[in-house]
Amino acid sequence: MIILSNDEITSLLSIEEIIAAVESAMVAYEENVFKVPQRMHLDNGPNTFLCMPSFGSQYFGTKLVSVVPGNSTRSLPVTNGAMVLNDAKTGLPIALLNATKLTALRTAALGAIGVRYLSPEDETSIGLIGCGLQGVHQAIFACSVRKISKVYYLFKSAEKSSALVSFIQKYHPGVVVEACHSPTELLSKTSIIIAATTSYDPVLPDLPELLRGKHFISIGSYKPSMQEFPDSVYRLAGSLAIDSEFARHEAGDIINPVKKGILKDENVFTLGKVIIGMRTLDVKDTTAYKSTGMALYDLFVAQAMYEKALEQNRGTNIEL
């Protein structure tokens, strides 16, 4: 069994390879060739524990995750955990991965795939709301699927601003990073809006004139009581792409618009259907995408990392 640490996970695969692995998982999900049980979701006050298994022909995996919003005030990651990868034939555990980094990378890939399929190819800027671990990864992955020259972000603190600028310049040194001091200012400067927050209430004003014709990627909300984008986003879009059918019952950004009659069930569909050509989207108009994550994405990225680690003789070998 090998252990893959945060630093090893970061360097094993390129951004493009991670995006490709997640997009392959989206297609595999549509083909229904993998078993993905609904994840166990336990709440303890404001904190959440997730157990996420998935099964394939060569590997199966289980990700154990804690989401502790209060960690943002402790200079600790909000999301933490471990991923166990097993050999499907023997059942033996073969790898233990840092799930905090794994989650950040695969979630960033999910956001980037949303940008790829829900926005015009000639877009050159993005707007970011939420500059935590998830947010900074969203920025660098989005810059990898579009020729982004500017990243606008909603300013919250000097510390997070500095971290965001440093992180983006490390991967994309030519990209200009500019702070905005209100959601209205952010909306006025860019058409692609990515939200990666733990907010329970919409992070944008519910004003159609500010939202029309833009492209919205919601990454952060993961409970029925959470809704990152206002109702007008979904009213203007008229449809919503999601990353799995499980998402329909997990996040307020999906549950609330359907419950209110803003969206019909048939107009909420998995992004994988767009990728394989079963659904189409007019990216010249308002578009919306909601990602809540799924264990299959972790499995695809984890197995790619494991195979690359074997190829490069990376990781720490242990015996249980």
pLDDT digits (tens, 9 = 90+) for 21-45: 999 999 999 998 899 998 898 999 9
| 55 and 135 in a common domain | no
| 213 and 243 in a common domain | yes
| 79 and 141 in a common domain | no
Q: Taking the model in full, what pTM does it have?
A: 0.93
- Rounded Cα distance, 289 and 280, in Å: 13
Partners of 59 in beta bridges: 87
- pLDDT score at 33: 86
Residue 77 pLDDT > 90, yes or no? no
Q: Dig out the tokens for 259 from the structure.
A: 């419950």
Q: Dig out the tokens for 7 from the structure.
A: 């630093």
CATH number of the domain at 49, please. 3.30.1780.10
Residue 76 pLDDT > 90, yes or no? no
**Which residues are CB-neighbours of 122 under 8 A, at least 6 positions away?**
147
CA dihedral sign, ordered 166, 172, 173, 177: negative
| 45 and 128 in a common domain | no
Cα Rg of the chain (Å, integer): 19
| 13 and 57 in a common domain | yes
| 94 and 32 in a common domain | yes
| 69 and 139 in a common domain | no
- pLDDT score at 211: 98
The CB density around residue 80, as the number of other CB atoms within 10 Å, is: 17
- pLDDT score at 38: 86
- pLDDT score at 229: 98
CB 86 within 8 A of CB 189: no
Which pLDDT band holds residue 271 (cuts at 50, 70, 90)?
very high
**Closest by CA position to 25, among listed 95, 99, 109:** 109
Residue 222 pLDDT > 90, yes or no? no
CATH number of the domain at 137, please. 3.40.50.720
* Burial (Cβ within 10 Å: 0-12, 13-18, ≥19) of residue 311: exposed
- Note down the domain range covering 184: 111-290
| 268 and 120 in a common domain | yes
Greatest pairwise CA separation for the chain in angstroms: 60
What percentage of the chain reaches a pLDDT higher than 90?
Answer: 87
Q: How many domains does the chain have?
A: 2
List, for residues 296-311, the tens digit of each pLDDT value.
Answer: 999 999 999 999 999 9
| 36 and 10 in a common domain | yes
| 141 and 245 in a common domain | yes
**Closest by CA position to 47, among listed 262, 222, 273, 272:** 222
CB 219 within 8 A of CB 113: no
| 207 and 83 in a common domain | no
Identify the three-state secondary structure at position 314: coil
* Burial (Cβ within 10 Å: 0-12, 13-18, ≥19) of residue 242: buried
The CB density around residue 28, as the number of other CB atoms within 10 Å, is: 17
| 156 and 22 in a common domain | no
- Rounded Cα distance, 294 and 111, in Å: 13
